[in-house]
Amino acid sequence: MDRIMSLQNLVHPLHANLADLTSGPMHIIGQVVNDPWYTNHELRLRNRSRHDNHDEPAQAPDFDARESDNYFFLEGELAGIASKEDLNIEWIGHRTLLVEAIIPKVDEEAEWEIQLQTDLRKVRIEGEPGELERPEINSSLKSGNHTHRKALRVWMNERHTGALQKSFTFPCDVDTQQMRARLTNGLVKILVPKLDVKEHKQPRRIDVEG
């Protein structure tokens, strides 16, 4: 529940209920109460276990959602995801869809095949007095009793990296078997057909088209 009620999630929520939100506050409360994303404890535990090994909580990517008489259309920006193998799309209920990916931070040394300089002038020797490490330098690596720090200063940190996640609960029954997804230039496009009659099918993982 802490992920659901976090300040970041309130501003840019990890979950969206696509039901009509124009019917008044009581109707909105009813949607939340009946939404399995909020009421199913097993689903919340399953989602939490995916990201327990990450230092930062999941962030919500930017999505557009549109609806026609027969379909729902979702488009989400996942900059840094080039392969469909790095994207997971699956149903966690007959109306709730989960989209998630993990975008790693760029390793500058590996990317550019260089070795960053280290600042050896201001290091603290364990057990002995010394000058304080410079606070603007990060990415530490240890060697013997000395702690060396790569001279890498972070001036801006605006990109979405780490765990990205967005989920959707649809207001009507949808055809989970006929759903389609595509990944093109970091844009994931999802087509979700509606069902004319109520038909519950087993949840499944979605194969992303190349």
Residue 144's pLDDT is 47
- For residue 54, which of 94, 100, 97, 90 has the smallest C-alpha distance? 100
Residue 197's pLDDT is 62
Domain tally, the chain:
2
CA–CA gap between residue 109 and residue 112 (Å, rounded):
6
Which of 95, 128, 150 is the C-terminal boundary of a domain?
150
Residue 133's pLDDT is 47
In a domain, 96, yes or no: yes
In a domain, 171, yes or no: yes
Residue 150's pLDDT is 63
Residue 4's pLDDT is 45
Q: Which residues of the chain have pLDDT under 50?
A: 1-5, 26-27, 123, 131-147
Q: Assess whether 99 and 117 both reside in one domain.
A: no
Structure tokens at 150: 């790569």
Q: Assess whether 126 and 143 both reside in one domain.
A: yes
For residue 49, what is the domain's CATH number?
Answer: 2.60.40.790
CA–CA gap between residue 184 and residue 78 (Å, rounded):
10
Let me know if 171 is exposed, middle or buried by CB neighbors in 10 A (0-12, 13-18, 19+).
middle
Residue 82 — φ and ψ, nearest 5°?
Answer: -105, -20
Residue 182's pLDDT is 96
Q: Assess whether 17 and 119 both reside in one domain.
A: no
Q: Assess whether 11 and 82 both reside in one domain.
A: yes
CA–CA gap between residue 99 and residue 78 (Å, rounded):
10
In a domain, 202, yes or no: no
Residue 106 — φ and ψ, nearest 5°?
Answer: -70, 130
In a domain, 1, yes or no: no
Q: Assess whether 115 and 53 both reside in one domain.
A: no
Token pair 């149903």 is found at: 91
Contact 95, 169 (CB under 8 A): yes
Q: Assess whether 116 and 100 both reside in one domain.
A: no
Q: Assess whether 100 and 112 both reside in one domain.
A: no
Residue 175's pLDDT is 95
In a domain, 113, yes or no: yes
CA–CA gap between residue 160 and residue 72 (Å, rounded):
26
Instruction: Please calculate the CA angle 207-47-171 and round it to the nearest 5 degrees.
Output: 70
Mean of the per-residue pLDDT values of the chain = 75
Domain that holds residue 186: 7-104+161-193
Q: Assess whether 118 and 18 both reside in one domain.
A: no
Q: Assess whether 32 and 131 both reside in one domain.
A: no
Q: What is the pTM of this model?
A: 0.69
Q: Assess whether 56 and 146 both reside in one domain.
A: no
